[in-house]
């Protein structure tokens, strides 16, 4: 199951209290303070792990609390520090404060390790407060409390190319043909209910990644269809590939609808490099294809690329265009 949004609770450990103790020794006739310091509370650490691809584990465990520091002891013995808690998340996870929506961390690189919440400082024992005029302090510091937060984990797939299109535009079939990804494919809308990520081998030694985003319909930014649930996954892509069914009655209208939905979600999306491809070319005969010629879509510099995933016609041309665009991005 693909989970890309979850809320959890985290807390760093409390610092241990300093000790109030006194020693009795032969050459210290009136004794002296010997209370040790409390240990530091444990930290809450987040680490990006490229072997993870979903936030599913957080559906079953919602609280991540670090250990508390131990109190100080006698004979100047310091308390043990609390144990850190390390939370493993997929690469591409954004961590937000659940109350303010402030972005606290963006783990877009693999093996990145960051302390999000530091543990509370341990309190000083009474041995730290002895002075020539105050030889037997009968007080010590309490440890500082840890920090508690409710946070939101939001996963955004990191891909070079984001596939955008209406349901049944052929996105899943395309990604299954050009990569090893095997999304569910059927002849009804919303076959794809979660994003798919595929690695495309280009020529002999090159590769790029493609994200197949579930179909967008008009009004998606208002929550219609699958809504904006998955649009976050194309925010990190380098280019967008709009797929339009070649049997559509109006290519420009279809493009404009998709374009406007992305723009209403985030203007940054439509600032990306955009390519347009007409899928399912096998549904037209050669004469119909010849009549189409080069289709030009407004707001897009290059003509639309015509291809068929079923027959493989035009696929190499499509990959070449994607690669050339990626090199310039």
Same domain, 283 and 323: yes
Same domain flag for 192 and 150: no
pLDDT in tens, 75-86: 899 999 999 999
Tell whether the model's pLDDT for residue 286 goes beyond 80.
yes
pLDDT score for 173: 87
Question: Tens of pLDDT along 29-53?
Answer: 566 899 999 999 999 999 999 888 8
% of the chain exceeding 90 in pLDDT = 56
Listed residues 155, 177, 197: the one ending a domain: 155
**For the purposes of burial, counting CB atoms within 10 Å of the CB of 205, is it exposed (0-12), middle (13-18) or buried (19 or more)?**
exposed
189 plus 150 within the same structural domain = no
Same domain, 86 and 224: no
Question: Structural domain tally of the chain?
Answer: 2
In angstroms, the Cα distances linking 147 to 81, 118, 142, 165 are: 16, 7, 16, 44
Residues 164 and 291: their CA atoms lie apart, in Å, by 26
Assess whether pLDDT exceeds 50 at residue 129: yes
Q: How far separated are the first and last CA of the chain, in Å rounded?
A: 33
> By the 8 A CB rule, do 213 and 196 touch?
no
Cut 0.75: pTM above it = no
Same domain, 134 and 210: no
Q: What is the CATH number of the domain that holds 147?
A: 2.70.210.12
Distance CA 314, CA 91 (A): 33
Last residue of a domain, one of 155, 190, 211: 155
Query: Domain range spanning residue 292?
Result: 161-327
* 149 and 167, same domain (yes or no): no
Same domain for 205 and 130:
no
Same domain, 306 and 167: yes
pLDDT of residue 278: 95
The answer on 74 and 165 residing in a single domain is: no
- Residue 131 shares a structural domain with residue 16: yes
Could you tell me how many residues make up the chain?
329
Is it the case that residue 115 has pLDDT exceeding 60? yes
* Span 103-123, average pLDDT: 95
* Non-local CB neighbours of 214 within 8 Å, separated by 6+ positions: 167, 190, 192, 193, 194, 195, 226, 229, 230
Split at pLDDT 50, 70, 90, the class of 279 is very high
* Average pLDDT value for residue range 267-278: 92
| Residue 188: per-residue pLDDT | 44
User: Of residues 229 and 161, which shows the higher confidence score?
Assistant: 161
What is the pLDDT averaged over residues 271-286? 92
| CA distances (Å), origin 264, targets 70, 95, 120, 138, 221 | 53, 24, 43, 65, 6
For 255-283, b where at least 16 C-beta lie within 10 A, e where not — what string? bebbbebbebbeeebeeebbbbbbbbbee
> Helices 315-327 & 171-178, crossing angle to 10 degrees?
80
- Name the pLDDT band for 211 (thresholds 50, 70, 90): confident
> What confidence category does residue 303 fall into, taking pLDDT thresholds of 50, 70 and 90?
very high
Contact predicate 299/264, CB 8 Å: no
pLDDT attached to residue 327: 92
Residues 30 and 150 placed together within one structural domain of the fold: yes
pLDDT at 225: 47
Percent of the chain with pLDDT over 70: 88
Q: Which of 107, 124, 155 is the last residue of a domain?
A: 155
pLDDT value at residue 192: 46
Segment 151-209, tens digit of pLDDT? 999 988 778 999 988 888 888 889 888 887 554 444 544 444 466 778 899 988 889 99
User: Does residue 103 or residue 54 have the better pLDDT?
Assistant: 103
Q: CATH no. for residue 295?
A: 3.40.50.300
Same domain, 148 and 171: no
């Amino acid at each position: 199951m693909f989970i890309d949004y979850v809320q959890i609770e985290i807390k760093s450990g409390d610092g241990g209290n300093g000790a109030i103790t006194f020693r009795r020794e032969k050459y210290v006739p009136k004794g002296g303070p010997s209370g040790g310091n409390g240990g530091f509370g444990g930290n809450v650490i987040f680490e990006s792990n490229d072997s993870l691809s979903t936030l599913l584990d957080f559906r079953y465990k919602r609280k991540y609390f670090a250990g508390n520091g131990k109190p100080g002891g006698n004979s100047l013995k310091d308390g043990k520090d609390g144990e850190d808690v390390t939370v493993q998340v997929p690469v591409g996870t954004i961590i937000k404060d659940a109350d303010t929506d402030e972005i606290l961390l963006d783990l877009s690189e693999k093996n990145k390790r960051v302390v999000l919440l530091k543990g509370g400082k341990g309190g000083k024992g009474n041995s730290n407060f002895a002075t020539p005029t105050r030889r037997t302090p009968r007080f010590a510091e309490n440890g500082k409390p840890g920090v508690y937060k409710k946070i939101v984990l939001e996963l955004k797939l990191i891909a070079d190319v984001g596939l955008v299109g209406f349901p049944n535009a052929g996105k899943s079939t395309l990604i299954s043909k050009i990569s090893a990804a095997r999304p569910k494919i059927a002849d009804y809308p919303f076959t794809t209910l979660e994003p798919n990520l595929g690695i495309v081998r280009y020529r002999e030694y090159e590769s790029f990644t493609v994200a197949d985003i579930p179909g967008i319909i008009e009004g998606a930014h208002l929550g219609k269809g699958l809504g904006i649930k998955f649009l976050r996954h194309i925010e990190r892509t380098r280019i967008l590939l709009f797929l339009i069914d070649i049997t559509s009655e109006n290519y420009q209208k279809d493009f404009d609808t998709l374009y406007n939905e992305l723009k209403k979600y985030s203007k940054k999306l439509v600032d990306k490099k955009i390519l347009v491809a007409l899928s399912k070319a096998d549904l037209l005969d050669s004469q119909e294809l010849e009549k189409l010629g080069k289709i030009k879509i407004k707001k897009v510099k290059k003509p639309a690329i015509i291809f068929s995933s079923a027959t493989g016609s035009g696929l190499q041309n499509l990959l070449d265009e994607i690669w050339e665009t990626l090199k310039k991005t």
